[in-house]
Structures are given as structure tokens and as C-alpha cells.
Structure 1
Amino acid sequence: MNRNDIEMPYPIYYYVAILSIAALFTRSLYVRISLFQRKRRFARKHGCAPVTRVRAWDPLLGLDHFVRLGKAAAQRQYLEYWRKNMFGRYGNTFEINLMGQRLLFTNEPRNIQAVLVTQFPDFDIGQRRRDNSAQLLGVGVFNADGPTWEHARATLRPNLTRAQVADLQLFEKHVGVWMAALPKDGQAVDMQEWAFRFTLDVGTEFLFGTSSGVLDPQATALGRRFAWAFNLGVDGVAQKIRLGSLAPLYYNADYGKACKMVHEYVDPIVLAAIEATQKTGSEQHSNVGDEKRYTFLGALASEGISPKKIRDHVLNILIAARDTSACLMSAAFFELARQPAIQAKLRAEVDRQLEGRLPRYDDLKDMTYLNWFIKEALRLYPPIPMNIRVANKDTILPVGGGPDGSAPIFVPAGQEVVYQIFSTHRRRDLWGEDADQFRPERWETIRPHFQYLPFNGGPRICPGQQFALLETSFVLVRFLQEYSRLEAPATSQQPWTENYTLTCSVGQGSWVKLTKRGGEKGSEVSA
């Protein structure tokens, strides 16, 4: 019989397909075995032990956890659910499967210090954050790693020197607009809504040299559209990041329109800055209409990079400039209106130190009780309560493994580590049995380290933290000067709930009734 006469029962491509599948399976098995052996060798070398794994009735996707977290988020108790039902039950470090993605959660200061400082080169922001925020923000300091992040941060730094942030005239200008716009009949107002308008106006003027003007009741339609679009865009980014691997399923019919509106607002400002720089040939990084003050936008415009890259960078910074300060102010007003004894202490300190004049930079730094109050607001209500880093290589966290959680744990390359500051700030073993209480006096003696991180830490510490603290201090002092009483109406005395997007503000708003003080204040603000 001739070999050519032998007939195969199936076409040749069938056998090719079988061999290809077998090769892929073999390769996958080899990769898994290699990874297992690599993990075991690495773990042995560093004395690592297994971390607690949170069980689920659905081991493939962890759908039961996803459903419970969704319910908690709808009730504005997402952070509290993690604190009580997860960290409270499984310890300070554990692993959980959420929609097929294994995440490592920790609220342990030693692990957070490792991620942010001692092992900083081992962790990145990660591609997921970039992908889920790129439509609104492009790539900048919020979502970049490596040289792009380093460049944006270095360019921003001169905008945040003492000489820049100590110019309190900017704050007073917008506080005046805020106060003038408030109702005069004593009705309750949501100070949180006004705080977000205020920080948007201040942030746009500080970074761009021109304000959005949304504090003014007669704000332009352009300013109002920008504020609406920016709010919706930020909320969309937050939801996509939180959905993790399900982010492609996110849908909001207005999200794309909002991103476009934000870009249409910022692009002409960017082009004007570039044109002004080209005309003057200036390398002083001055902005349109203000040749004396360094601005982040002006600095970028002088570098010759594309308008889109400039827009990306300034929008990344604007999120921090607006949201972090506004969340802190909202929490401060929330507690101030509910704590008359604390309010009285603050007002007494303000009146004693200032004697009716407007505050200077050094005054705000020297007000001891005011600084305790703000630190306590940041402790209980951190503006950024959770954050994520991604291991860029095999590494370890110092604790969390073994029966008592004291052994190091192995963190493979690609592992996402979620650290929850909200829980860390409320741990009773770190802060005492009154950890859930708002008590500024605790700061008289406490000297925290990595158990207190309202602005992150290490190389990626929030570059604008001093600006946010100064801005909030100034606003509180001015309201204490101008109003004899700030009180929460009886209808809004319910406990705090969260409004958690990229940052965390007060779920029910910061409703306050304001009683005007008599007398006139001075008209000059000194640095």
C-alpha cells in the first residue's frame, strides 16, 4: 500500500488545532508551575507565611462579596463595611476575591509604610487607574508613573512654595464672594456644596490664573457647565476604578459629554497661556494677566509641550486642588456645627489671637486648637480613605502572614495592594477606646507616624497638603469671625455617612444655620 493512499479521518487543520491547544495548555501549566516554584523560593528566602483568605460561596468570582459591597455603597456605608465586616473579622491584612481579581487589603501601618516609603520602587499606580481615568484626565500626576509623574510633580513644586501659598488675598477674595452669596434670612445651607464651589474657584485661579466663578450666584453659563461636567467626570472616573475588571461595563450617557465639556473649557485657557508665552518669550512661567506669580499652567506653556499634554497635567492637579480641600472643609463644618463647646474654644482662640483683624500666614500656623481641630477632622474623615498600588516585581509586605499575622507575606508582581486609611485612623489599638469620637484634645500628646496618613506619605505624598491646610484654616477662621453661631438644624442631626467618589465627603451634606456677628473686620490680609 502506498503511503499516499492512507486517508486521515479528519482534515489536517484539525490536528494542527489539537496540537496548538496542547502546546498552549503545556505552556500555561509550565508558567503556573514556574510561578509556584518562584513564589515558594522567594517566600522561603524572606520567611513569608500565608495571608488570611476571605472565603466566598462563589470561589470563582466572589459575587457574594460584590453584592454586599454594592448594597453597602448604596447605603453610603461602603468604607464602614470594610472596617467592621472585613478588617474587624479577618484582621489587619487579608486577601479577597472580587469579580475574579484577588486583592490584598491592609490597614496595617507597617505595610502601608513599606508600600509608600521603604519599598516605594516596588510599587506603581498601575495601568488600571490610567485606563479608567484617561478619557477625562489623560495622563498626569494623578495617574502616571515614572518620568511623567516626576516631571509633573517637579513642575508643580514651585507653585506651592510658601511665597505662593502664603498670599492669602486669593482666599479672602473668594471667601468674600462666598459670604455675600449666602442667604441673609438664617436658613440652613449646605456648606459642602459651597465648599466645592469655593475650592474650584480658588483652584482654577491658582493654577490657571483665571477663576471659574461658580461661587457667584450670577455665574456664567460656561462656569456652571464646567462645574457640572467636572463633577460628573470625577464621579465617573471613581466608579470605573471601583468596578475594577468590570470597568468596561460602566455606562453613563452623559459621561462622554461631560469629559468633552471639561476639555472645551480648559483648552482655550491653555492656548492663551501658550500664546502669551510665545509673544513675551518669557521663561518666568507667568500666566495671562499675572506676570508676577508663577503658575503651573504658565510653567508648562513655556516648555513647548503639546496643548493636550498641558491640559492633562492641569486637570490632574485640579482634582487635588478642588476635592481634597473641599472634603476637609465639609467635614470641618459638619463637626463644627454639631460641637458647640469645640466651636466656642475655636472662636475664643481666633478672637484672642487676631483681635478682629484678618489672619496672616503665621497666625494660622500658630493657632494650636485650630490645628488640633483640623487634624482630628482629617483623622476621622480622611479625604482619600482608600488607595491602591500595584507591585511591579516580586516583593513582600513586612507583616500579615501566619496564624498571628506577624510574619512577612509574599506579594507577586502584578498584585494590587489596597490600603484603607479610613480603618487605620479608627483602630482602637492605635488611637484608644474613643477612636470613633471627635476629640481634638487627643493631639495635645499624640505623635503619630504611619497610623495617620490623611495626605498619603513618601515620595507621592500630596504636594498640595500645605495649601489645603492653609486654605481650610483660613476659611474656618473667617467664618468664625463673621458669624457668632454655626449650628446644625434639627433636621440634619443624623450620624455621618459617606459620599465616596475619588475622595470622601459628607453623604448627607454639611447643613449649617449661620448667625451673623456685629461689627466690621479689617480689609487687608497680610502674608
Structure 2
Amino acid sequence: MGDYVIFTNEPKNVQAVLVTKFKDFEIGQRRRDNSAELLGIGVFNADGQTWEHGRALVRPNFTRKQVADLGLFEKHVQRLFEALPKDGTAVDIQEWTLDTGTDVLFSESSDVLLPSATEVARKFAWAFNRGIDGIAQRIRLGRFARFYYDPQYTAACKFVHDYVDEIVAKAVYRAKEWHAEKKDKPVPPDDAEEERYTFLNALAREGVEPKQIRDQILNILVAARDTSACLMSAAVFELARRPEYQVQLRREIAEKLSGRQPTFEDLKDLTFLNHFVKETLRMYPPVPLNARVAKNDTVLPRGGGSDGMAPIFVPRGQLVVYQVYSMHRREDLWGSDAHIFRPQRWETTRPTFEYLPFNAGPRICPGQQFALVETSYVLVRLLQEYSNIEARGNSAPWREHLTLTCSVGQGVWVSLVK
């Protein structure tokens, strides 16, 4: 509200903003101002050295070796199975990735899915959601963000901080012990078993101030948890409504796995499953639009002239919003069936910048592989565990619930049959 904004869903413009003219654009101060009460300053809202340093530390959290450790996913899948009703009762399974995200980043899970989940854990899940919604509302209000009022927003932010501060304090204590042990012990042999890398422990061992640690891990949790939740819930939403795809996926899983749990290599070989996930990302990109601010006077390759095909001047300070959702549904880019969920299109489709579910360029999502593996693994295990996943109340057209990410507005109500 109150701003002149350039909106674009032109692939050449998106490529310019994110890659070829990356140095001409930044996240901008307004996003920091609108998100700082909950997130502080971290990789989600930072520019310059703060962003570069945070990204360098988080990248090892999502290496192939880390992502290929499917035991972490299986642990939380089992908790999901325990939490789901066993009598076919309809259930909304949209909220299920907070436990995994906190386990990966914090070295300990919030355990919201457990039947024995504490009231503190449940309140953390509520407070985190409330805080994210507040940030999204402020961003939309633009120049009027200062007038945003939600009596529960500040309380939610404080609860999130108190919850995470305890985890950070334990990490700082562990880091001191680690440094002390490192002084007293010789260098371990090359074949010694390595501990799992976590962003939290890396920050603590580097001696980062506790407040900055909290800011950075909350920034990453927003990206890791919300986007994965949106992708998985959208995938199950489509899966439950399309029994023909369930049949095709079950056949592929049965042929390739013969009843066993999948390995990392297995997931790459499940061709139709990969097409199904890609089509979910095309139709329902978790981040449907994003924005950058011009750092300098610059030019975008499309948008000028009487036909919009000439370059267009972008002055310093100009807000540019690129719309992934509508770009993914342009018929001139994807064909006349662009609005239809059809995984088979990926047998021949080889897109470039017209397909952008994980951003691109230097700020490409570092957790891209993690999200794809987590989603694929959960889908396989659901199809192995249940003979039918049936939609309940999902006959209405999809509608969005938009915060910083975009999820299924009506929820993902399904009945699961053993």
C-alpha cells in the first residue's frame, strides 16, 4: 500500500533481478524493519556481509551427505503415523514439518507431532505461525506498516524468543565444552565418525553472540519449515484428489522398492514421483511472489515500449515484485493446459527461468535438495503405509492461504486407510 511498484512475471526480467543484474538489487531496509521484531537480522532479510556470512554457515547443513541421512526423516514419519487417526477419521495433515525443521537446525526437535507434546511446544508452534503472519501483514501494508496492530503479535514474538533462547544457551554451553575438549585431545583420525553438522552448533562454536545466533536460526527456520510444509501439503492435496496418480505412483514404488524403505538413490530413480513433485512446485510454488529493491539506477530487459518488449528504466529505490505463481501458469510459456495439474508434462519439459520454485542466482534456496528429498520420502512412506489416501471436503477448487508462503487455504483434509 502507498507505493509505486513494478510487477513482472517475465522470465528475462526475473533472470536479470536474480542473476545478471544481481548487484543492482537487494532485499532492502523495509523487509528488515517489518520482520525484525520476530526474526532480528539474518539470511532471510539481510544484505551484504551479514547475508553472505550466514549463508556460508548454513550451506553445510544441506550438503548431500546431510540430506542423504534419511533416518532423520523416518523418525519423524513414524511420529506422523502415530499422530494420524487409525480408524479412517478425516484429518488435516497440513502441519507436519516443524519437528523436522527444528531437529535439523537446532539439534533437537520441537516434538509437536508427538501425542505427548508439551504445552510449551504447542504454544511455540502457534507463536511461530502468528509471528510469520504478522510479518506478511506488515509487508502488504507497505508505507502503512507502522499502523499494524495485533495484540497477540508481540506476545507471540516474545514466546518464540524465550523458547529459542533456551536452545541457544544449551548450544553455547556445548560449544564451550567442545572447545575445551578440542584443546585436550589429539586430532581425530580421518576415518573417525563425524557428528551431524547443525547451523546452531556452527554459530555457537564460532563464538557468535547469542542474540545473533537466535536471529540467524529463526531466519533459516522460516525458509526451511514453511516452504517444505507448503510443498508437502500441496502434494498430498493433489494426491488425495487424483486416485489415478496414486495407482501410478504405487506401481512405480512397488516395482523399484519391493516393500522396503527408500534410500537416497532410490528417490532419484522414482521418475514419476519426481515429475509429480515438480508439477506440484509449478502449480503451487511455496513462495508465489518475491521482491527486490533497486540499489542503483538500472534497466530490466522487458516492460518498455508500446508492446512491452523493450527495456524499461528502474530508478534507485524502486520496488520490483516478481510473480512466480502467475509465471508458472502462463499459457504462452507452458501451453494451453498450463492451469491443469499434469505431471506427464515433465517427460519432455526442460524449462529455464520460467520455472523458479527455489529462486535462482546467489540467493538460490540452499535447502532445495532437502525440501525435495523430504517431500519425496514422506510421499513414498505414506503410499507404503496406507492403501488409500482419500480426499475429504476437497472437491472445491484450490484456494490460497497467503502469509510469507502460500499454502492450501481449505486445509488438506484426508482419510487414510491401511
> SS of the residue aligned with 2:387?
strand
The answer for the alignment partner of 1:359 in structure 2 is: 262
Which residue of the partner structure matches residue 349 of structure 1? 252
Equivalent AA in structure 2 for residue 150 of structure 1: E
The corresponding residue for 1:405 is: 308
Q: Which residue of 1 aligns with 2:189?
A: none
Equivalent residues in 2 for 1:34-433, closer than 5 Å: 98-99=1-2, 101-192=3-94, 196=95, 198-281=96-179, 292-433=195-336
Measure the CA separation in 2 of the matches of 1:407 and 1:282: 62
TM-superposed CA distance for 1:303, in Å, is 1.2
Higher-Rg member (1/2): 1
Query: In 2, Cα distance between the equivalents of 1:384 and 1:477?
Result: 24
Once the two structures are TM-superposed, the CA of residue 389 in structure 1 deviates from its matched residue by: 0.2
Amino-acid identity (%) = 66
Deviations 1:4-24 (CA, angstroms, capped at 9, x unpaired):
xxxxxxxxxxxxxxxxxxxxx
Please name the residue that 1:18 is paired with: none
Give the deviation of 1:138 after TM superposition.
Answer: 0.2
Deviation at 1:185, TM superposition (A): 1.3
TM superposition shift of 1:217? 2.2
Provide structure 1 residue ranges, at least 5 long, that are not aligned to the other structure. 1-97, 285-289, 517-527
For residues 268 and 488 of structure 1, the distance between their equivalents in structure 2, rounded to whole angstroms, comes to 40
Decide whether the 8 Å contact of 2:103 with 2:109 is kept in 1.
Answer: yes
User: CA 1:217/1:160 → structure 2, altered by over 3 Å: closer, same or farther?
Assistant: same
Shift of 1:492: 2.8
Task: Supply the AA of the counterpart residue of 1:426.
Answer: R
Partner of 2:367: 464
Quote the offset at 1:513 in angstroms.
Answer: 1.0
Q: Alpha-carbon deviation of 1:216? A: 1.0
Partner Cα separation in structure 1 for residue 250 and residue 128 of structure 2: 35
Letter in 2 for 1:240: R
Distance 2:341 2:321 in 1: 26
Partner of 1:495: 397
Tell me the SS of whatever aligns to 1:248.
helix
Partner amino acid, structure 2, of 1:187: T
Shift of 1:180: 1.1
Distance of 1:283 and 1:232 partners within structure 2 = 41
The amino acid that maps onto 1:484 is S
Higher relative contact order (CA 8 A, sep 6+): 2
Q: Whole-Å Cα distance in 2 between the matches of residues 492 and 432 of structure 1? A: 26
Find the aligned partners of 1:409 and 1:311 in 2 and give their Cα distance. 41
Distance 2:416 2:97 in 1: 20
State the Cα deviation string for residues 265-311 of structure 1 (Å, max 9, x = none).
00011111111111220799xxxxx9711110000001112100000
Unaligned runs of 5+ in 2: 183-192
Contact 2:233 2:412 in 1 (8 A): yes
Q: Distance in 1 between matches of 2:194 and 2:226?
A: 28
Say which SS state the counterpart of residue 414 (structure 1) adopts. coil
Deviations 1:106-143 (A, max 9, x none): 00000000000000000000011000000000000000
CA displacement, residues 232-261 of structure 1 (integer Å, 9 cap, x when unaligned):
001101111111111111110000000000
Indicate conservation of the 8 Å contact 1:283/1:302, yes or no: no
Q: CA RMSD in A?
A: 1.2
- What TM-score results when the alignment is normalised by the length of structure 1? 0.76
Is contact 2:237-2:412 (8 Å) kept? yes
Conserved? CA contact 2:289–2:322, under 8 Å = yes
| Aligned amino acid, residue 181 of structure 1 | A
Change (3 A) 1:106 1:388: same
Q: Distance in 1 between matches of 2:150 and 2:345?
A: 44
Q: Which residue of 2 aligns with 1:476?
A: 379
Amino acid at match of 1:312: D
Check whether the contact 2:19–2:361 (CA below 8 A) recurs between aligned residues: yes
